[in-house]
Amino acid sequence: MNFETPSCCLISLFIAVDLIETLAQYLNLRASKIPLSSELRELQSPSDQLRASQYMKDRIRMGIIKRTLFLAVFIALIKLSCFETLQELVVQSSNSPLIQSLLFVVALLVGQAILNIPFQTYSTFVIEAKYGFNRTTIGIFISDLLKGALVGGLLGGLVFAFIVRMLTNHGDQAWWMIWLGYTGFQFLLVWIAPITLLPLFLKLTPLSEGPLRAAIESYSQKQTFKLDGVWVCDASKRSAKSNAFFTGFGKFRRLVLFDTLIERHPPEEIVAIVAHEAGHFKLGHIWKLSIFSALSSLLFFYVIQKLISWDALYLSFGATKMNMGIGLTFAAILVNKALYFLSPIGAYFSRRNEYAADRFSVQTTGDAASLVNGLKRLVNENLATLNHHPLSVILHDSHPPLPDRIKPWAKN
């Protein structure tokens, strides 16, 4: 491969990321099979360990096939000058640079979706079904796909059109103006999504009166934690996996519990899990994360602006410079791939926050045993593996492996 040409540099970047990813997953799979110590066997029996590692193997195998196919298609698109051909087609079909770039990006996204749907279908109806997780019907699956495409297309289309407009009208200064608009839009979205977008995908009903609701309300009152109610979502219509999360800010902050979580955990474990989630707010993790992501997007837009005026960007995709919106698409594809190398930073801070939220939960509920039991049950219900390879932890783990997480509390 000739590294002097921009397209070979771009292709090398894509191959490098895929190779590192595959290596990390392979090492993690191997680590998952190492026999557990007698202490850890209490958390997961040998037969559950085997099932968890089989489940991981099935997902990794599909992931490798998918990544290889996407990589092959990407290389073919560059080598066969398909990006250039598509660019010429959209430029001929309209005089408006905005319409041209929208057509270009829609064509790529539709192509990506067509390639992706067989994998999503296989993952849901074969892999998840094999391990007893899938509860989605074909009807819900299709309606989720359509709703996701509609909402994503609408919101993504608005943001994309705004960025192209700003780039066209404001030249070198566009990056910080784009950032202002984009950040404002994001905050608005986080604020209103729980009451506008979330109900499109999950049916939320208030948690009925009873010991669980009383326990959660008494906890949040003691912590002076503002809450727009405790809600239950019908996650069991899609998957048997369980979880809990907060959405929104301030007055609109809602606690959402999966119905699967309520089915299987006693109230004190759910309170410990809720206290962990509340810890993320009380310890400022949510605000710090928002500020961090806002600063990262400022850098992102600056880099994007610099990239689109650079001829080599277009050359690397086998195209020529014609339209800023198309350049924006190329730059976003490139930067997103390169960001893989920064993922350890986010994962590191996320793991640190998880330990802190666990500490918050134990300090405020005074009940380490319920947190430990709740986490153990969650890990086993979701067929997680206990032994993680360090490379995989560094690259992806937003949550520390269970044995590390419960270590501080195991002695008490």
Stretch that binds Zn ion, among 113-121, 347-355, 364-372, 400-408 (CB under 5 A): 347-355
* Choice between 56 and 357, CB closer to Zn ion: 357
* Choice between 185 and 355, CB closer to Zn ion: 355
Stretch that binds Zn ion, among 53-61, 105-113, 242-250, 349-357 (CB under 5 A): 349-357
Which is catalytic among the residues 277, 367, 381, 404?
277
Active site residue 381: no
Nearest CA-CA partner of 202 in 154, 140, 264, 149: 140
Stretch that binds Zn ion, among 241-249, 254-262, 348-356, 401-409 (CB under 5 A): 348-356
CB of 246 to Zn ion, least distance (A): 10
What number of chain residues touch Zn ion (CB under 5 A)? Answer: 2
* Choice between 289 and 322, CB closer to Zn ion: 289
* Choice between 116 and 243, CB closer to Zn ion: 243
Stretch that binds Zn ion, among 71-79, 120-128, 337-345, 354-362 (CB under 5 A): 354-362
95 backbone dihedrals φ, ψ, rounded to 5°? -90, -15
Active site residue 217: no
Contact between 214 and 156 under an 8 Å Cβ cutoff? The reply is: no
Burial of 35 (0-12, 13-18, 19+ CB in 10 A): exposed
Q: How many CB atoms lie within 10 A of CB 334?
A: 20
CB of 8 to Zn ion, least distance (A): 42
CA separation for the pair 70, 13 (Å, rounded): 14
CA separation for the pair 291, 283 (Å, rounded): 14
Which is catalytic among the residues 259, 268, 358, 367?
358
* Choice between 164 and 378, CB closer to Zn ion: 378
Contact between 107 and 331 under an 8 Å Cβ cutoff? The reply is: no
Q: What residue has token string 């074969």?
A: 126
| Sequence-separated (6 or more) residues with CB below 8 Å from residue 290 | 187, 190
The residues of the shown chain that bind Zn ion, judged by CB under 5 A, are 354, 357
Please give the positions annotated as active site. Answer: 277, 358
